[in-house]
Structure 1
Amino acid sequence: MPPQRKGAAARVSEDTEDLTRHPLQAILLADSFATKFRPITLERPKVLLPLVNVPMIDYTLAWLESAGVEEVFVFCCAHSKQVIEYLEKSEWFSQPNFSVVTIESHNSVSAGDALRLIYERNVINGDFVLISGDTVSNMSLTQVIQEHKERRKKDSNAVMTMVIKQSKPSPITHQSRLGTDELFLAIDPQTKQLLFYEEKTDSYRGIIPLDNALLGDNPSICLHNDKQDCYIDICSQEVLSLFTDNFDYQHLRRHFVKGLLVDDIMGYKIFTHEIHSSYAARIDNYRSYDTISKDIIQRWTYPFVPDVMFSGNSATHLEREGMYRASEIEQSRSAHIGPFTVIGKGTKIGNNSKISNSVIGKGCSIGSNVSITGSYIWDSVTIEDGCDIRHAIICDGVVIKSGAALEPGVVLSFKVVIGQQCIVPSYSKVSLYQQPTVEDSDEELEYADNSSGTVDSSITCTVDTLNREMMSETPASQMLSLHLSSGVEAEVHMEKYAYLGPGGVGHVWSICEGAHEEEWRHSVAPSPADKLAEAIQSLEDDLELLNLDGNALSVSGELKSGRNGTDSEDDDVEDSRDDSIYYEKEVEATFLRAVNENIKVPDVILEMNSLRLSYNMTSADCAGAIFYAMMKQALEIPHATAGELRKSAASIIDAWNKLLKFYSKEIDDQIEVIMKFEEMCLESVKEFSPHFSQILHLLYDKDILEEDAILRWADEKKDAEESDKVFVKQSEKLIQWLREASEEED
C-alpha cells in the first residue's frame, strides 16, 4: 500500500543519514549586536573582553570542543579584524578534530543578518548548535542533541530545542544576580514544547496575557517565571532558511522565537531541554559579567576554572578560601589578599594594601594603602598609593593617581587617567572616546557608526603619550596628536574635565534619558537598598493580583487551577517540601555572598525578604534558614580544636546577630531557631553536637533567644521519646538556671 512504501522510504532515508554522518557543527556569533558594554566595546569586541583573565570566547570554544563539536563557524562583524587575528594566533586553529572557521561581515547589524549570510555560504550540513561567544557552560550536549534528533524523526516541524535551567525563583533575586528581565515561559509538561515566551515589562503589572486559544488547544500547560534562558540552541537546517525567508527576523528571541510561536500556518515547533546540575549562563550586561566571574572563581563552571583550563593560566594556583595566585607576582608582606580573589601574572602589590572578591589582571602595579573590593582590574593598570576602589571595572592601561576613589558601579575604559584625590561618582563611565551625540537607531548595533564622525574605533593612544601631555604645562582643554591605524595623523579634542581631578584625562559619559533604571540593574555594584525595596513592593503588589480564586501563578511558577479538589494534595505537600529545600539553599547562598562581599545588614534583609516572599515562607522559616547558614559558614572557617570551632561560631553570631534578631522577634521564631539547631546537630552538621548547650547559652547572652523560648522548647520535649531529648539533657544546667531565675523574678 502507498503509506507503507512511504514509511519504508523514510526509514531508508534515516538509515542513509546515519551512514553518512556529518560532523557536529556550531555557529558562534562573535558579535552580541547590543550596546550594553559601551564604552568598552567601542575599542574591543565583547568576546575578547577578559573574564577572570581569559577572553570570553575561549570559554565558549573550550566548552564546544569538550562537548564533542567538531566544526565551529565564528561569525565576526564588529571589530572583526581583532577577533580573526586573536583566533589565528591562538591554539584553536591547531586543535586536532576541532576546526574553527571565521566568517567575516562588515554590514550585518543583527543576528538575523548573520544567519542569512551563513545560509548563503551553504556550510551547515545538518543539525547545529547556535550560541554566542559570551556564553559559559559545562553541560553535556549528548542528551539534548539525542532528544532533538528523536523529535525530528517523529515531527519534521520540530526545528529547534532551547536549553533552559532552574533560576532564582524570586524575580528580585534573579534580577539582582543577572540584571535581566523576568522571563515567562509556557511549556507543555508532557512534550516539553515551548508555547509562550515573554520578558516581563512594566505594563504587565503581574498579569500575563495568554491567548485563549493557547489554553484551549493544550490540555496541560505550565507557566514558569523560575527558568533561565541559557541561549544555547540546537537547530535544524530549516532555522537558517526561515531567517532567509523572513527578513523581519532580526533578534533570535524577540523576533524569531516569538514569531514561530504565533505562526499557525507553517506549524513549526520549538522545544525545551532543562539542565539541572550543569552550568550555563550568558554574559548580557555588567551585572551578569560580575555574577559569572564569581561563579567561575567559586568553581561552579568546573573544569573551566582558572587553575585547570587554558594554557595561559597554567601557572595559576588555587589557595585557601577561593584565592588564585599566578606566578611571578610581587606582594608586600603587609598586603592582605582576601577570599575569592584572582591575582594575575607579574602584578605588584604594595604595603598594607587590601584586595578582596576581585580579579586583578597581568602586569598591574598597585601601590601602598590601596583598598580594592569587588572589582575587575584588567591588564597593565597602575593604581597609585591610597586609592579606594569598590565594585568597579577598570580596563587595560588605566592610570589612577594617588588618593583617588571610585564609587560603586564605575567603568573606566582603556587608558583613561583619573587625577589625584578625585572621587568618581557611582555608575560613571569614562572613556577616551566622546559619547556619540546621536544614539544608534538600531538597538541591535553594538559598534559605533564610524561614518558619523562621532567616534572612530581605529584611534590608538598610549598612556605614555597622555602622561607626557599631563606633565607639561598645557591648559585644561588641549589637543593631543593621536594616530589612526591607517597611518593618518588626526587631531582629536581631548578635554581634561575638572571632575577627573588634576591630570585626569577622559570623557565622562552622561546617562541617557530614561536609562537611569538600567544603570543600577546592569552594574557590577550591589543593588541600592531603595531600589530593592521598590522591587519588593512591586512583587508584593503582583502577588496580590495573582492570589485569586481562579487560575493563579503559584510561587513554583506553575499555572494551576483553583484548589477545591483533593487530587493534588500530595503534589502540594511534595512541592512544599521541595520549596523548603530550595529556599534554604537560596538563603545560604545569599548569606555567603553577604559575608564575602561585606554587604550591610539592611541590604541583606531586603534580599532575604524577597526570597521569603517568593517562597511564601514565615519569619520563623527565615530565622531557621539564616541560623543554619551562619553555622555552615562557621564550620568553613579553618579550626583544629573544638574550642576554635566554638570561637568561629561565636564570631559569626556576633557579626550577624542583628540579621538573626530581625527574624527572631517572636517566641515562635526563636523556638524555630533552636529546633533548626537540633536538626543540624543530628543530621547535617554533627560537629556542633558537643557544643549545643554552649552555643544555646551564647544565643541567650546575645539576646537572640529569650528565656521563655528556651523553657517552652524544653517543656515541649517532656513527653517526647528519649532519643529526642538528647540536647535537652545536654542543656539541663542552663535550663535549670533559667527556671530558678524566672522563679526568683516571680
Structure 2
Amino acid sequence: IVQSRSAQIGPLTVIGTGTRIGDNTKISNSVIGKGCDIGSNVLIEGCHIWDNVTIEDGCQLRHSIVCDGVVMKSGAVLSPGVVLSFKVVIGQNFTAPAYSKVSLLPQPIKQDSDEELEYADNNSDVETSCAPDNMNGELTSELSEIQGSATSELGCGGVGYIWSICEGASEEEWRHSIAPISAEKLAELTQTTDDDLEFSNQDGNAPASSGELRSDALSDSEDDDEDTKNDSAYFEKEVEATFLRAVHENVQVDHVILEVNSLKLSCNMEFSACAGAIFYSMMKLALETPHKTTDELSRAVLNIFNSWHRLLKSYLSGKDEEIEVILKFEEMCSESAKELSPLFTQILHHLYDKELISEDAILGWEFEKQGAEESDRVFVRQAENFLQWLKEASEED
C-alpha cells in the first residue's frame, strides 16, 4: 500500500494490497479492494470499493458500492445508496443521484418471458460449446460500442447508463441500500408505527364497553395458544432425539447439556420445559426397553435414572421445575404411557431417593391438587401412603 502522510484512514477500514492513496484523502468505515488508485482530496465514507478502481482528485463517495474497474473522474460525487457496476466511468464533476444503479449495459426495455428464459437455459450448453471465441469477440465488440456511445448520462467523459427504478419501487429503494436511513425517514417510520398502533387499539384490541375482549382479540389469543403448543411439541421431539442419540452413541452428559441448552435458547423455552422434556425422553426410553413385567419396567426406569440423573438434575433448579416433572409424569400416565400408571408411586419414590425431586415439591404438587376434580386426583390417591410417610418424616425432623 502506498499512502500519503497527509491521508487520514479512519476506524473500521480495510485496504487491499497494491492500493495507492493520495494527499489529504479521508477514508472511514470502508472496504477498499486491491490495486485501487485513489487521488488527492478524496472523501470516502461507508463504502465498499472493489478491485482496480480509479478515483481521481476531489471525488466524494458516501455509502456506495463500486465494482471492479470503475473510473471516477475528478470532482465526481456518489450520493448515498449508489451502486456502480463493472467498468463504469463517472464523468468529471458529475453527481450520481441517491440510490441510483449505474451499468455499462443499457437497461433492458423488454423482459424475456418465462418460456424464453427456459429455452435459453436448455440451449445454453450447446451455444457455449459451439462458438465460445465468437461470443467473447462479440461481447468485447458490444462493450466497445457502448463505451463509445453512452457518454451523456454520466457527464463529460462518462460511460454507462443510469437504470431507471421500476414503477412503484422508488419509495422502497432505501430499504435495500447500504446507506443509513435518513433522519427524516426514521421520523416518518416512527410516526407511521405510532399511528398504526393507535388505529389498532381503536379498531380491535381495545376492550368493549362491557369490559370483555372483542372476538378478534379472543381469536388472536387462541392462535397464540395453538402456536405455543406446537412450539412445545417441536421442542419436546428435538430434546427426545438428542437424548436418544446420546444414549446410543455414548455421548457425555456435559455435551448433551450443551445441546439441550442450545435448543432451549433457539426455541425460547424455560428450564421447566427442559426438565419435562428430558423426563419424558427418559420414560419413553424405559418403555422401549424390552420388558415383560412391571418389575422389569421399574428396573429399566431405575437404571436410566442411575445413568442420566445428572442430566435431569441440571434443569431442576427449584421447586417449580420439580413440580413440572411430576405433572409431566401424570400426563404421561394418563394419556401416552398408561403402562407406567401402576408404577407412578414407585417411580416417584425413585425420583425422591435419587434427590431429583424434593419433599417440598412432592407436597407442593399434592397441595396444588387439593381443589381439583376427582379425575385429576387419581395419582394423588395412589400415592397417599408415600405422601403420608413424607409428612410424618417431616414432623419427626
* TM class by smaller structure: 0.3 to 0.5
TM-score scaled by length of structure 1: 0.26
Higher relative contact order (CA 8 A, sep 6+): 1
User: Which structure has greater strand proportion?
Assistant: 1
TM-score scaled by length of structure 2: 0.47
Larger radius of gyration: 2
User: Which structure has greater helix proportion?
Assistant: 2
